[in-house]
Structure 1
Amino acid sequence: MTPIDLQQYLQRIAFQQSLAPDLDTLSALVQKHTQTIPFENLDAYLGLPVELSTEVIQHKLVGQSRGGYCYEQNALFRSVLNAIGMQVTSLAARVRWGVPEEVETPASHMLLLVNLAGVDYLVDVGFGVTTPTAPLQLNKREVQVTPHGNYKITEQAGSYELAFQQADGWLTLYRFTLQPQQNADYKVFNWYVSTHPDSVFVKNLVAAKVIDERRYTLRNNELKCYRQGHPPQVTVLAGAEQIQTCLRDYFNITPPAGLYNKLVQLTEEQALLADAC
């Protein structure tokens, strides 16, 4: 694996404190990363290839100030932690958010397990609007409070489940085991989610980012703002220009070439659906 340019990454997230392979550093990096580098799927949405090499990911998320989805985000973060000297294991999860219990899902989400002084922490900087903004202790069964919401990890017969607390109860995000994954595994997963016509990332524009105490998510032309203990605020964007402005203002993303025309098509389709209703 090609080493990451650590200094360039630290400049990207405006990280100025000292580095050490400890929990304080890990927690600070997770916080800064999730508040700086947005979750987004613009390449897959535009039908462009999503490459997972260290060089390409660093150029895109760091050099070009873009964002990415789980494989890019967590691969970048894994490279950073490795460069600092942390012990990291790459895992895969089956997403359960919004999926009926009887529906099977593939192990298509990338997450990380970090061991510090004999304690395992779940680290995931690439799950969109409910991305944990702090490390979570793998073997702690009590509610774990983070700056942007409460989480709970349960385990049964080696199968773990991560849940997020909403106003009306707990929402299961995903299920996972501790079976290590290889880069080749993610290459297969990534090909599916970035090219299959049924993939949510092929059919929809998605972006998410933490700003101060709020979380923002954009799905097609609908912007939502989440704040702990409050119902989400929803704004429907009127057209392609408003969506591009939203990407700049809320997610700090410069819209790539070709996106405007795709968004014009999207807003026309949304208008037809509204008229049909």
Structure 2
Amino acid sequence: MSALTHSRLYLQRLGYDTPPAPTLQTLHDLQLRHVCTFAFESLSTLLRLPVPIDLPSVEQKVLFDGRGGYCYELNQLFLALLQELGFDARGITGRVVMGGPADAHTARTHRLSLVTLDGVRYISDVGFGGMVPSSPLQLDTEAVQATAHEPYRLSFDGQGSYTLWAKVGEEWRGLYVFDLHVQADIDYEIGNWYVSTHPQSPFLGQLKVARLAAGKRHTLNNASYAVHYLDRPSEKRTLNSADELLGLLSETFGIHLPQDARLRASLDGLVLATP
């Protein structure tokens, strides 16, 4: 794996003047700051553009072009930062089950990180869209774990697979199933290829955007926008024009919009297709 070449800029974007020590508190702070700073977004797959996941390309897109990304980009960038700071961390992958049965055997299309601190293992994830955990989660416990947002918990099947659950309202929802198998670059390339190009990918030709803030989550699914609060009901509305979408992407999600002539036409198409 390549090393970060712009870690100073990355840390500055996260609010650090100097590199923090590799402690559990730092991991908590980094993860929360990351999900509140960099948007999860699928503008590239909306436009059916390639999504390169080599580290220099990801650094350019996120740190210099003002964009966000999805798990194969954001979690790779975050892992590289953790490793540079001295954390014992490596990448792992999982199968998304959100929206379906938790025991479904779906494709391996999610990337996250395993971090070990003082012999205790945690998962850290900054690339799971609108339900991304805002805090690292201790792996080897099935207890409910508080985060800066909703409670989460992990379950273990005794055969090597873990399931991540989030409590939404009074309901526990399965998000993804993962294991701790060592992954090579080609494993991420294959998953990313599927997500960014396969006709059955939920990202191809679709717009999915999320960004967290204190006490709330902003999410955008095509032209359907929602703000989910921790202490009161969600606010939801449908956007009625490409201009509304462009303004929201820029102002609320902090995305520097790509100069692509097809963007407005694609956003117009999303508005027309949203009931």
What range is the shorter-chain TM-score in? over 0.9
Residue 17 of structure 1 and its aligned partner are, at CA, apart by 6.1
SS in 2 for 1:208: strand
Residue 253 of structure 1 and its aligned partner are, at CA, apart by 0.8
Is 1:72 equivalent to 2:73 in the alignment? Answer: yes
Q: Is the 8 A contact 1:15 1:29 kept in 2?
A: no
Root mean square deviation, CA, Å:
1.4
Residue 91 of structure 1 and its aligned partner are, at CA, apart by 0.9
Is 1:269 equivalent to 2:273 in the alignment? Answer: yes
Residue 102 of structure 1 and its aligned partner are, at CA, apart by 6.9
Q: What corresponds to 1:3 in structure 2?
A: 3
Equivalent residues in 2 for 1:194-205, closer than 5 Å: 194-205=196-207
For residues 245 and 177 of structure 1, what CA distance do their matches in structure 2 show? Answer: 39
For residues 129 and 272 of structure 2, what CA distance do their matches in structure 1 show? Answer: 26
Q: Where does structure 1 lack aligned partners over 5 or more consecutive residues?
A: none
Q: What corresponds to 2:164 in structure 1?
A: 162
Amino acid at match of 2:192: N
Q: Is the 8 A contact 2:124 2:136 kept in 1?
A: yes
| More divergent stretch after superposition (115-124 vs 228-237) | 228-237
For residues 249 and 93 of structure 2, what CA distance do their matches in structure 1 show? Answer: 29
For residues 46 and 215 of structure 2, what CA distance do their matches in structure 1 show? Answer: 28
Q: What corresponds to 1:249 in structure 2?
A: 251
Q: Is the 8 A contact 1:197 1:203 kept in 2?
A: no
Report the number of matched residues: 271
Alignment CA distance shift 1:103-1:120 (3 Å): closer
Q: Is the 8 A contact 1:13 1:37 kept in 2?
A: no
- Percent same amino acid at aligned positions? 37
Residue 28 of structure 1 and its aligned partner are, at CA, apart by 1.1
SS in 2 for 1:89: strand
| More divergent stretch after superposition (255-264 vs 199-208) | 255-264
Alignment CA distance shift 1:165-1:84 (3 Å): same
For residues 212 and 99 of structure 2, what CA distance do their matches in structure 1 show? Answer: 21
Any idea what the Cα deviations from partners look like across 1:96-125, whole Å, max 9, x if unmatched?
100235753111100110001111011000
Amino acid at match of 1:245: G
Amino acid at match of 2:238: V
Any idea what the Cα deviations from partners look like across 1:219-250, whole Å, max 9, x if unmatched?
11111101114322101111111011110111
Q: Where does structure 2 lack aligned partners over 5 or more consecutive residues?
A: none
Alignment CA distance shift 1:177-1:102 (3 Å): closer
Q: What corresponds to 2:62 in structure 1?
A: 61
Alignment CA distance shift 1:174-1:264 (3 Å): same
Q: What corresponds to 2:195 in structure 1?
A: 193
Q: What corresponds to 2:93 in structure 1?
A: 92
For residues 248 and 124 of structure 2, what CA distance do their matches in structure 1 show? Answer: 28
Amino acid at match of 2:272: E
Residue 31 of structure 1 and its aligned partner are, at CA, apart by 1.1
**TM value normalised by structure 2:** 0.95
For residues 184 and 74 of structure 2, what CA distance do their matches in structure 1 show? Answer: 16
Q: What corresponds to 1:37 in structure 2?
A: 38
